[in-house]
Amino acid sequence: MHENYDLDQLLELVARKQFRRLKDLLSEMNEVDVAEFLDELEPEQQAVVFRLLPKDMAAEVFTYLEYSEDQEKLIGALSDKELREVLDELYLDDTVDIIEDMPANVVSRILRNTDASTRNQINQLLNYPKDSAGSIMTTEFVYLHPDATVEESFARIRKVGLDKETVYTCYVTKNRVLLGVVTVKTMLLSPYETRIGDIMESNVLSVKTHEDKEDVAQMFSKYDLSAIPVVDNDDRLVGIVTFDDAMDVIEEEATEDIEKMAAILPTDKPYFQTGVVETWKHRIPWLLLLMISATFTGTILGFFEEALAANAALTLFIPMLMDTGGNSGGQASVTVIRAMSLGDIEFSDLFRVIWKELRVALLCAMTLAVVVFIKVIVIDRKGLMVALVVAMTILVTIVIAKLVGCTLPMLAKKLGFDPAVMASPFITTVVDALSLLVYFAIATRILGL
């Protein structure tokens, strides 16, 4: 909540039905804080408090509500007139975002309460693929003619700018074809009679409507953009993607990657809005797969059962070897997945990545091998040969784990899979099996088991 307002105080005003005082307080608050306050209320109370808000503020608050279920209930509580007032104040891309999360009957009611032109634009945006630039763009931007003067352009901005998502960056078009971009700052510093075509920046970064939205979002941080134009195959300007929409995409993709890296099927619902059974469905497939794949570890242990019986001391170090290998592979995989998501490395960099990880692996492996050699002798009080077996296994395991960890995500992406799937849980399972094979191979050779 805003630092000047107390949640308990606002809730008390609602309970006492002191709506005049509540209205005064809400009108002075930030829209995000008001949305957080509404999230704390019951559906019936939400509708009452929402009606206290000024029209322009109400639309902003509506977009900041945390759960689509709250938006749906609020839509159900509003009259058609009230709903139209909210929709009239919403930017088109926000309306589309809301519609995408709503059931068919609510979508139908929203579309009924928009004018024909807006309805056509909404339908056009909804038809773009879910992960494309077209699906997150807004069609509410300011475009200017290259032959117009600065004075004429300012008049146009004043006329149409009120309903546009941004007026600071204006796009220069002729017959809808994107020619350039000009900022209000540049126009303010230019004489009124200057033609827009003479002061526009013609080297414009743009994206196609079907370009992946994650790639588009990355361009914002790479080129330090506040908005980017979206064009069709004929270079006609059809919309813009703004910074706030790009940040939503980055947050969504980061959450999805984290879930996949933790072996969970992605979900777009908040934690407390996801039921127990639904959460179970998202977690159990990977747990089953990893459990079954981990049986290879048991098979290897069974195969070397006699060797373990002959030298029981070897059993003590199996957990440490497997954990160290898994952690090493996990470090490499997370680093590579992160670099790929930022566009720092491509599949063509595979051998450069392997060469770097190999050198890192050797440094890590030699350090840990020396430490574990001393530990086995001094702390665990085992023989020199056992210490040598454990140290050599650590050395080889870490090198293998790092190479597996860096190559599997890159190969996965090349084959069309999400590299996040190849993160820690999957790689740990693979490395566990390999570390055991290495351990017993070295032990058999050195100890003659």
CB atoms within 10 A of CB 413: 20
Alpha helices in 90-115 (DSSP H): 92-100, 104-112
Check residue 183 and give its pLDDT: 92
| Coil, strand or helix at 180 | strand
CB 348 within 8 A of CB 439: no
* Encoded tokens for 365: 């492996």
pLDDT confidence of residue 2: 43
Residue type at 401 in one-letter notation: A
Domain with CATH 1.10.357.20 in the chain: 294-447
Structure tokens at 222: 């790479």
Domain with CATH 1.25.60.10 in the chain: 7-127
Question: What's the confidence (pLDDT) of residue 266?
Answer: 53
Total-model pTM: 0.51
Q: Which residues of the chain have pLDDT under 70?
A: 1-5, 66-68, 100-101, 104-105, 123, 254-275, 282-283, 286, 289-290, 292-294, 296, 298, 301, 303-310, 312, 418, 420-425, 448-449
Whether domain 143-250 has CATH 3.10.580.10: yes
Read off the tokens for 111: 């579309």
Dihedral of CA atoms 204, 205, 206, 207 in degrees, nearest 10, equals 160
Show contacts of 4-11: CB within 8 Å, 24+ apart: 4/28, 5/29, 5/33, 7/37, 7/40, 10/37, 11/40, 11/41
| Residue 6: both structure tokens together | 């107390």
- The residue behind tokens 């300011």 is 142
Longest dimension (CA), the chain: 94
Structure tokens at 238: 């059809």
Asked if 128 and 210 touch (Cβ cutoff 8 Å), the reply is yes
Q: From the centroid of its chain, how far is CA 6?
A: 32
Give the pLDDT of residue 1: 42
Q: Which of these CATH numbers, 3.30.70.270, 3.80.10.10, 1.10.357.20, 2.60.40.2130, describes 294-447? A: 1.10.357.20
What per-residue confidence (pLDDT) applies to 295? Answer: 72
Torsion of CA 89, 92, 96, 98, to 10 degrees: -20
Determine the 3-state secondary structure of 160 from DSSP. helix
Nearest to 14 by CA among 80, 2, 34, 424: 34
Is the CB of residue 153 less than 8 Å from the CB of residue 144? yes
Give 236's DSSP letter. Answer: B
Token pair of 236, please?
Answer: 């006609």
d(CA 189, CA 186): 5
Number of H helices, E strands in the chain: 24, 6
Domain 7-127 has CATH 3.30.390.10: no
Tokens 């069974």 -> residue: 302
Question: CB of 298 within 8 A of CB of 372?
Answer: no
How would DSSP label each residue in 370-420? Answer: HHHHHHHHHTS---HHHHHHHHHHHHHHHHHHHHHHHHHHHHHHHTTS-GG
Q: At what angle do helices 350-378 and 384-414 cross, to 10 degrees?
A: 160
How many whole angstroms separate alpha carbon 404 and alpha carbon 328?
10
pLDDT at 365: 93
Q: Are 364 and 332 in contact (CB under 8 A)?
A: no
**C-alpha span between 191 and 388 (Å, rounded):** 80
Amino acid at 438: V
